[in-house]
Amino acid sequence: MAEMDWGSGTANMTNETFMPCPSTTDGHGSLLLCIIMVIEMIVGLPGSALALWIFCFRMKSWKPHTLFLFNLVLADSLLLVSVPFRIDAYLQRGHWVFGQVWCRINLFMLTVNRSASIAFMTIVALDRYFKVVHPLHRISRVTLRQAGWFAGIMWIVVIALRIPMLATNLLRQYGNVSECRSFDSYGVIPVEIKVHYVAFVAEFFLPWILLLFCSARIVCHLRQRGLARQKRVRRAIRSVGVISVVFTICFMPSVLTGLGGLYIRNSKPTDCKSYNVVTQVFMVCIGITYLNSALDPVIYSFCSSMFQEALKSIVGIEKRKSEQPQTQLITAEKHSEAHI
């Protein structure tokens, strides 16, 4: 998921012309962002670690949709590595202390996470769509090997689209503050950043439209055939519905506020008050995008019955272990009473 900020500044202007609004980092906004991201880490880290452990050691068999969900877990792991550095920056009101190289790598990993999460969430929903609406289609009969190749190609495409993040200087100096951002107010926007802008918006709207289409088609198809009450069918409906909801909650706010900031930048370049308000709201929305790592385990549970069963078995084991000492104690008490 990309860190996006159209904030601007007036210091160290070289060949680029910035809009007249100075870069501002609101203390309350930074604190709110830190709280949001810390909560996401507290919830997301155990959830992703548990999911990774289940996929690696508890899955009895693998199917194509299981492989796609596993790749979603891998995408979340990139986020868990990257977010702590963003938390540190916001604790220092936007000041980045880790240098230019790690700034590029950090933002690269965040953008790859966002793109990969969106890609594999969409693939899982499409897989459900074809299994329900077009069960005899070639895509519905894809093998595990073919799914693996497809997942590999998706990673190559995602990484290739985000390579510009590694080739562009994203660390900007505003007085004594170094800010690490992937979106800024460029006078002349570099080609690499244009690619990033387009990808940031397109990779939300295109999959979002696909998700809405899949949800509507699955519901209509099942109602027409009178199959909506079958257990397997209900799981397919819930799966696509949950993915659509998580997708919308996590990614829509940042895209809409980002487009709002771009509109103000182009149409009202001197309206700094409105611009700074939108920028601060946008920064909070960026924090919300990281929420997908905390919510993705919900997707695994709804989309994979095998994952759900493995999770239940773990909970069952822990429950039996906790009940065992109590059972032994009751048995011992009965035994002693019998002797008395």
Q: Render 259-271 in DSSP notation, one character per residue.
A: HHHHHHHHH-TT-
The two tokens of residue 5 are: 């900020």
Domain 27-307 has CATH 3.40.50.800: no
Q: What per-residue confidence (pLDDT) applies to 224?
A: 74
The string of pLDDT tens digits covering residues 260-305 is: 888 887 787 777 788 788 888 888 888 888 888 888 877 877 777 7
SS3 state at 177:
strand
Q: Which residues contact 289 (CB under 8 A, 6 or more apart)?
A: 1, 114, 250, 251, 253, 254
How many other CB atoms are found less than 10 A from the CB of residue 269?
14
What distance in Å separates the CA atoms of residue 61 and residue 50, rounded to the nearest whole number?
18
Q: What's the pTM value of the predicted model, to 2 decimals?
A: 0.80
Q: How far apart are the C-alpha atoms of 322 and 135, rounded to whole Å?
A: 44
Give the list of residues 6+ apart from residue 86 with CB closer than 8 angstroms, or none: 3, 37, 106, 110
Give pLDDT, residue 188: 66
Q: Where are the domains of the chain?
A: 27-307
pLDDT at 33 (0 to 100): 84
pLDDT at 206: 93
Structure tokens at 329: 């104690």
What is the predicted pLDDT for the residue at 186?
Answer: 58
Q: Taking a C-beta distance cutoff of 8 angstroms, is the pair 79, 290 a contact? A: yes
Please tell me the predicted confidence (pLDDT) of residue 226: 67
Which residues of the chain are modeled with pLDDT < 70? 1-29, 184-189, 226-233, 315-340
Dihedral sign computed on CA atoms, order 99, 101, 106, 107: positive
